[in-house]
Structure 1
Amino acid sequence: MSDLKVPGFKASELIAGLHNAFSTYSDTEKQAQIKKTNGIFELQVSNEAKEVVTWTIDMKKTGTVYKGSAKPKADVTIILSDETLTDLASGKLNGQKAFMTGKLKTKGNIMLATKLDGVLKGAKAKL
């Protein structure tokens, strides 16, 4: 899905990859992932040019990724830089460390934010 990609954002590739991974899940795998995660993540990602793009990962109902604000409301909003998101996904950075050092901010269910790591790792394993 090319509408997920945004020029100037390295995380675009990651988000598109997440979408591809989710589309390869069988219904059983998708339901298991949704049951395990049970949340909607809204990612507000900023790049070096201070542009902000919002992506939503719905692991509550549909098991999908889309560009734009969460509908219905996100359970947790995660605010971070493009670089921080790519480092989290590659495993270079730990989510807890990113939060403690101020590289990542959350609004909403902070405990749910800890599950994002599992979603990223699960999708990575699928690809």
Structure 2
Amino acid sequence: MTDVSAAIAAMKAKFNPAAASGLDLIFGFRIDEEKHFNLIVKNGTCELQEGENPDANVTLVTDSDTLKGIVSGETDGMQAFMGGKLRTEGDMMLAMKLSELFPV
């Protein structure tokens, strides 16, 4: 398992099912422009998939170090976004739900 895979798996392990009640969303991740992962949140469940998903509601684009920092809590996601280390494609407002769904 790569560092990026481990970071995404750690994020999935922090999943808060109560915050996902009634949701049907796909959060895509493009890491280092070459690694693609998806967290599929549906009615209180979360599934991790590798590969690009064209149906992602929002895709977060960052590098592996920023991702690991956000997942570990060492890096604030909003500060990473404001500093240009994290960007979104798609519905940016959905990215704000990540902190509820995957609390640090």
- Of the three residues 99, 114, 117, the one matched with 2:81 is 99
Pairwise CA distance, 1:90: 1.1
1:102–1:36: structure 2 CA closer, same or farther, 3 Å change rule?
farther
Give the aligned partner of residue 67 of structure 1: 50
Matches of 1:37 and 1:100, distance apart in 2: 27
Q: TM-score, normalised by structure 1?
A: 0.67
How many residue pairs align between the two structures? 103
Provide the secondary structure at the position in 2 that maps to 1:12: helix
Deviation at 1:37, TM superposition (A): 5.5
In the alignment, the residues of structure 1 paired with residue 71 and residue 23 of structure 2 have an alpha-carbon distance, to the nearest angstrom, of 17
Give the fraction of aligned pairs with identical amino acids, expressed as a percent.
31
Determine if contact 2:61/2:86 at 8 Å carries over to the other structure: yes
Structure 1 residue runs without a partner (length 5+): none
* Distance change in 2, residues 1:104/1:18 (3 Å): closer
Higher-strand-fraction structure: 2
AA in 1 matched with 2:92: I
Larger Cα Rg: Structure 1 or Structure 2?
A: 1
| Matching of residues 35-114 of structure 1 within 5 Å | 35=21, 38-46=24-32, 52-60=34-42, 62-70=45-53, 73-114=55-96
- Higher RCO (C-alpha under 8 Å, 6+ residues apart): 2
Cα distance, 1:33 vs. partner? 3.6
Q: Could you say which residue in structure 2 is the equivalent of 1:13? A: 6
Alpha carbon RMSD of aligned pairs, Å? 2.5
- Runs of 4+ in structure 1 displaced over 3 angstroms? none
TM-score computed with the length of structure 2 as normaliser: 0.80
Listed as ranges, the gaps of 5+ residues in structure 2 are none
CA distance in 2, matches of 1:92, 1:18: 14
Partner SS, residue 87 of structure 2 = strand
Q: For the residues of structure 1 that align with 2:66 and 2:92, how far apart are their CA atoms?
A: 17
